[in-house]
Amino acid sequence: MKATKQHFWVLSFLILFLANACAEQKLEEDHVIYSMSDTMYSRCEFSVATETMVKNEIRLFGKIEADNNKVAEVHSTVSGIVKSIHVGLGDYVQQGQILASMQSIEVASFQKEKLDAINSVTISEKTLQVVRDLFAGKLNSERDVALAEKELENARAELNRIEEIHKIYNLKGGSQFDIITPISGFIITKKIVTNELLRSDDMDAIFSIADTKDMWAVAYVSESDISKIAEGQNIAVKTLAFPDITYQSKIEKIYNVIDPQTKSIKIRGVINNDNLQLKPDMNCTVTVSYPEDKRMVTIPTSSVIFDKSKYWVMVFKDRHNIETRKIEIYRQLGDITYVKNGITDGETVISKNGLLIYDAIND
């Protein structure tokens, strides 16, 4: 009987020992500690949550325009017949390049006037020399010499006047007149054909040339949004032609006139266009960023994970201490997310490959 009791107590002890061992093993399995490897650490990026002023956005529609301070309208300064046209609509031209050539009676008359003026100077010079010789021989008076000098002075003044006209019109000889571009840029309008009669008093430009190294992004703001707009605010411009490119600028000017039909005002920003990708009249969208009167913690949008109908971030303390944290989002603007609660200023979040860490810890 005594041996039976001893066996009973030994068996009970063994059962209790095995049960405790199994419980401890299960506890260890339920509380696995994640440690980030060197390889995973090198693949991740980290960002510090920062409290900033909250910004909002307005998305507007508009178009690309040439800077009208850099648009030249070319007129014919003389009347004549168009004989040749050397450029077409959309061509790029350099300052001083010939756009078209014409024959002009006015130019021919300018050439005759120049020849007459040259002859007049030559004759006046010879006349003065003769008068001076006669004066030296006491065959005339000082008054005769003064009159000859005055005639030569007038002849030279007339020749100078005509030469200035030739410089202004860039006349080279004969009756040909070349129409030349005053600036470098693209031809955006062309209203000229061969054998057309051009008049110097015509008010319509025959060519318009735009320097497009800087372009205007013009957008239309509805009445309800006017109070949110101010000069100096950042804008992001996108075009249909280049949807993957975002052009950054600022509101340079607000046109304080409301269009009675659309009930909107215009704003504009300047975009650098050294690569000449942007063309006048391209459609575009203009996103205006403006501040709100509040501050919130911001984190990169890439750090936010959406799962189980909630938003999460991976808060990084060290490689052996990473926390899955639920957050409440106030607004997402592109690469920036404003957080209402769940994370504080100064905490570090995983902003690249955080989803891999999230799956490793929570699956």
Question: Is residue 88 a part of any domain in this protein?
Answer: yes
Whether residue 301 contacts residue 336, with contact meaning beta carbons closer than 8 Å, is answered with yes
Range of the domain at 112: 106-174
Winning range, highest mean pLDDT, from 19-33, 161-175, 228-242: 228-242
**Are 122 and 251 in the same domain?**
no
Whether residue 215 contacts residue 67, with contact meaning beta carbons closer than 8 Å, is answered with yes
| pLDDT (tens digit per residue) in 177-191 | 889 999 999 999 999
**Are 203 and 223 in the same domain?**
no
Average pLDDT along the chain = 87
| pLDDT (tens digit per residue) in 145-162 | 889 889 999 989 998 988
Closest CA to 328 of 314, 315, 316, 342: 342
Q: What is the pTM of this model?
A: 0.62
**CATH code for position 193:** 2.40.50.100
pLDDT at position 11 is: 53
Helix, strand or coil, per DSSP, at residue 253? strand
Question: Is residue 23 a part of any domain in this protein?
Answer: no
Total number of domains constituting the chain: 3
The pair of three-digit structure tokens given for residue 166, joined into one six-digit string: 């030739």
What are the phi and psi torsion angles at 138 (to 5°)?
A: 60, 40
pLDDT at position 23 is: 41
In sequence order, the 6+-apart residues with CB closer than 8 A to the CB of 161 are none
Helix, strand or coil, per DSSP, at residue 34? coil
Question: Is residue 64 a part of any domain in this protein?
Answer: yes
pLDDT of residue 345 exceeding 90 = yes
Question: Is residue 284 a part of any domain in this protein?
Answer: yes
Whether residue 120 contacts residue 158, with contact meaning beta carbons closer than 8 Å, is answered with yes
Residue range 236-264: mean pLDDT, rounded? 92
**Are 143 and 263 in the same domain?**
no
| pLDDT (tens digit per residue) in 264-307 | 999 999 999 988 899 989 999 999 998 888 999 999 999 999 99
**Are 199 and 262 in the same domain?**
no
pLDDT at position 334 is: 85
**CATH code for position 64:** 2.40.30.170
**Are 194 and 221 in the same domain?**
no
